[in-house]
Amino acid sequence: MVNSPAGAARSTTPVAGTAKTARVSGGAGCLAAEAGARARPRSVTTWEGWRDFVGAPVPVPPAPGAEPRGPEERLVYHSRFVVVRTPAIDALAKNVRTLMILGRHQDVTARPGLIVTGPAAAGKTTALLQVGRACHLAHTARGGAGGGEDGGEGVPVAYVLVPPAATAKALAAEFARYLGVPITDRMTQAQITNAVCHVYGEAGVRLVMIDEIHRLNPRTTAGAETADLLKDLTERIGATFVYAGIDVAATPLFAGVRGAQLAGRACLVECGAFPARVGGAEPFGDLVAAMENALDLRAHRAGTLPRLVSYLHARTAGRIGSLARLVRQAAIGAILDGTERITRGGLDAVRIDHLAEEHHRPRNPTRARATPARATARRVP
């Protein structure tokens, strides 16, 4: 049996049986819930859900000459859809790999980290998850064993969300929930943190991904304590920490002494909107073409979406998340109504995220409508 960290309550014993049991099953409660858990997707913020995500078949476009897929199968395909490899994903993957090697033998101080930043709907979480998935699969390809101290299966990657109005104890509980570390309401933050560091060390976690980091405000008392917790975890868990958040440089995240510590340890990777043109290249047009090539519609006319690239850029402000939602919804609508193709009219009928709709909406529609009316009135005798 793995012993609890010193000072923790009896109920804080991280594992019943072996460290491997905790990493794979998440404790007795997860074992009891295992039967029938496949009925619905499990959250990637738990080890079981993360493992499901990594092991799930990747959606692939229809192969030339392959037998046509049925409507229901194609609805599922467009619901999940492909992940287009973007420059942001490539840059993130390269930087994460480099930082993991850089910090591999850095045992005394915190390892260098990375923050993925950018506007909403720019694909930050998708990039984070894809890089985490690649890291996990690379670990598996190398044998997958020996990641933990007991030579067991090991847990190479952890994914945690910063809860709204996060306190240090609430964030520590999220770390515990990922690996099923048993905690109770009576436990202190220090006890939960000790248990988390103990189990994460035995599990062999090498990459910790923390999403929604913009929710953290070190200017408040709770935010300052949470920032201190993150600093503590980066020094006690032998892993590379990667954060993601909305426009973090414009938030209080880097404010004060605590913010300066984070800024001094993490580099930024921008995950912004796609420009229509950069020199002779057309990044957004390439993205649109890649999405069109992945469609599985029986009557869609090739080249339709690239010809609408200016319209699509205006509709989505160049954000990959908004574009993917627009294309996927239009494709699903085309299957449901039987047209089996995406048209300008079909795209106009789709309502996407409010941020994109507000960007696309005319700034002064009332005035735009009133001007012709006044001109008409002057022509009346």
In this prediction, residue 5 carries a pLDDT of 44
Residue 215 shares a structural domain with residue 322: no
139 in the same domain as 228: yes
Check whether residue 161 and residue 285 sit in a common domain.
no
pLDDT for 309 equals 98
Task: Identify whether 69 is part of a domain.
Answer: no
Does residue 176 belong to any structural domain of this protein? yes
pLDDT of residue 153: 64
User: Do residues 92 and 131 lie in contact, with contact meaning Cβ atoms separated by under 8 Å?
Assistant: yes
Contact 298, 340 (CB under 8 A): yes
CATH of the domain at 204: 3.40.50.300
Q: For residues 179 and 200, is the Cβ–Cβ distance under 8 A?
A: yes
Amino acid at 322: S
Task: Indicate if 248 and 286 belong to the same structural domain.
Answer: no
CA distance readout (Å), 248 to 117, 216, 257, 259, 284 = 6, 10, 16, 11, 24
Question: Residue-wise over 327-357: b if at least 16 C-beta within 10 A, else e?
Answer: bbbbbbbbbeeebbbbeeebbeebebbebbe
pLDDT of residue 33: 36
In a domain, 112, yes or no: yes
241 forms bridges with which residues in the sheet? Answer: 208
- Domain check: are 177 and 326 in the same one? no
Sign of CA dihedral 22, 24, 25, 26: positive
The residues pairing with 210 across neighbouring beta strands, listed in sequence order, are 160, 243
Q: Where is the domain boundary, 270, 293, 309?
A: 270
Say yes or no: 233 and 323 in one domain: no
- Is there a domain that residue 370 lies in? no
**Residues 209 and 328 grouped into a single domain:** no
- Do 350 and 229 share a domain, yes or no? no
Which pLDDT does position 373 carry in this prediction? 41
From first to last of its 381 residues, the chain has per-residue pLDDT tens of 334 443 444 333 343 333 333 333 344 333 333 334 345 779 999 999 999 999 999 999 989 889 999 999 999 999 999 999 999 999 999 999 999 999 887 777 778 999 999 999 999 999 999 999 999 999 999 876 444 444 446 899 999 999 998 999 999 999 999 999 999 999 999 999 999 999 999 999 999 999 999 999 998 999 999 999 999 999 999 999 999 999 998 988 888 888 888 888 899 999 999 999 999 999 999 999 999 999 999 999 999 999 999 999 999 999 999 999 999 999 999 999 999 999 999 999 999 998 888 877 655 544 444 444 443 334 444
Among 223, 252, 270, which residue terminates a domain?
270
Same domain for 329 and 199: no
Burial class (CB in 10 A: 0-12, 13-18, 19+), 67: exposed
Residue 302 CB neighbour total at 10 angstroms: 10
146 within a domain of the structure (yes/no): yes
pLDDT at residue 362, as a whole number: 58
Q: What is the pLDDT of residue 258?
A: 85
Nearest to 119 by CA among 362, 358, 285, 367: 358
**Residue 341 belongs to a domain:** yes
Shared domain check, 181 and 117: yes
66 lies in a domain?
A: no
| Alpha carbons 298 and 163: distance in angstroms, whole number | 43
Residues 6+ apart with CB under 8 A from 95: 114, 267, 269
- The answer to whether the CB of 315 falls within 8 A of the CB of 350 is no
How does DSSP assign 218-235, residue by residue?
Answer: TTSHHHHHHHHHHHHHHH
Burial of residue 210, with CB atoms counted within 10 A of its CB: 0-12 exposed, 13-18 middle, 19 or more buried = buried
Among the candidates 222, 250, 270, a domain finishes at: 270
Please give the residue range of the domain that contains residue 305: 275-360
- The structure's pTM equals 0.81
Query: Which pLDDT does position 319 carry in this prediction?
Result: 95
Residues 169 and 248 in one domain: yes
Q: 283 and 155: one domain?
A: no
Domains of the chain: total: 2
Residue 366 lies in a domain: no
